[in-house]
Structure 1
Amino acid sequence: MRGYVLLILTFLGLACAAPVCAAEPLPMPKGQVILTVTGSVAQTNAPGQARFDREMIEALGAASIRTSSAWTDGVQLFEGVPLKAVLDRVGATGTSMTASALNEFEITIPFEDLKFSPLLATKAEGRLLMIRDKGPLWIIYPRDDHEELRDNRYESRWVWQLNRLHIE
């Protein structure tokens, strides 16, 4: 029966293999925009852009990483949303993204890094990340879980004060 329904939906042009097709339209941000995603994305809420406020980011699901970093003392608990959840929500298709910070720092991050489950941290040690302490978004890798992540190549991808992703 399920196959028959799919056949009818396909015939009517209503079925879609991509999860983005089933996703609700991306809502408009109600608060201050903290992340703008551009480039090869299927879901937008502004011309050529997917804009997110903190509430929209947090609605994508919670995740955490307990790890040390080159910028903190000892192991810390970082909380936020998986980077992959943001990319999935906008229907990103590509092989890399350029991550940009408020201070105009930019770096290219290959999609293959998603295998490490990097986090868009919004909190550290239970406190919201503010601009003065690397927020409102900070890309965090689980460096203590993977020895290869303790390399400058990966540490340079820990973009703090992240405000833009461009999908390529």
Structure 2
Amino acid sequence: MTSSYAAEPLPSASGEILLTVTGEIEATNAPGRAEFDRAMLEALGRKSLTATFVISGKAHRFEGVPLRAVLDRVGGKGATIRASAWNDYEVDIPWDDLKYDPLLAMSADGQVLTLRDKGPLWIVYPRDDHSALRDDLHDSRWVWQLNRLRVVRP
């Protein structure tokens, strides 16, 4: 996946770093990595989706940035995205999952996500729109307290 974005230099983050992307990427703003603050993520284009969180059984309105937009911005090229959280939870997300447009949610039901309530970033899938996403495997990819992505080749 090549993007015109990746040819543009990635600006330095000026706020708190919410996300670090490493691995097979073309654009960086720190040694061997791309660091994003909230403003940089929001500049990639906000989207929203409504999805049921399996643990609560309730539908929520999530707003954030498409995962694909972040990967496009850094020129990510791989087969897998390893997503890691503040508590060191890690899961591999196949590149093919991008077809579902998972979101890096920054708010839920109009409230900014904080570290206390699954933020500041939470990978959310549109599970209500695709029956294929309603299983334990895809539920395990809803990484809350996300702070790192690593693009991995096969």
TM-score with structure 2 setting the length = 0.94
Q: How does 1:31-70 map to 2 (within 5 A)?
A: 31-70=15-54
Q: Distance in 2 between matches of 1:164 and 1:22?
A: 19
What is the identity percentage for the equivalent residue pairs of Structure 1 and Structure 2?
A: 56
Larger radius of gyration: 1
Q: Secondary structure at the match of 1:87?
A: helix
Change (3 A) 1:21 1:54: closer
The answer to whether structure 1 residue 145 and structure 2 residue 129 are counterparts is yes
Q: Which has the higher contact order (CA 8 A, sep 6+)?
A: 2
Residues 6 and 73, structure 2, Cα contact 8 Å, conserved in 1: no
Q: Secondary structure at the match of 1:68?
A: strand
Residues 20 and 42, structure 1, Cα contact 8 Å, conserved in 2: no
Residues 129 and 136, structure 1, Cα contact 8 Å, conserved in 2: yes
Q: Secondary structure at the match of 2:83?
A: strand
Q: Distance in 1 between matches of 2:81 and 2:139?
A: 16
In the other structure, the counterpart of 2:147 is: 163
- Report how far residue 127 of structure 1 moved: 0.7
The answer to whether structure 1 residue 105 and structure 2 residue 82 are counterparts is no
The answer to whether structure 1 residue 87 and structure 2 residue 71 are counterparts is yes
Q: Secondary structure at the match of 2:142?
A: coil
Higher helix share: 1
Higher strand share: 2
TM-score with structure 1 setting the length = 0.87
Residues 139 and 157, structure 1, Cα contact 8 Å, conserved in 2: yes
Report runs of 4+ in structure 1 exceeding 6 Å deviation.
Answer: none
In the other structure, the counterpart of 1:119 is: 103
Give the gaps of 5 or more residues in structure 1. Answer: 1-17
Aligned residues: 151
Q: 1:74 aligns with which of 58, 61, 70?
A: 58
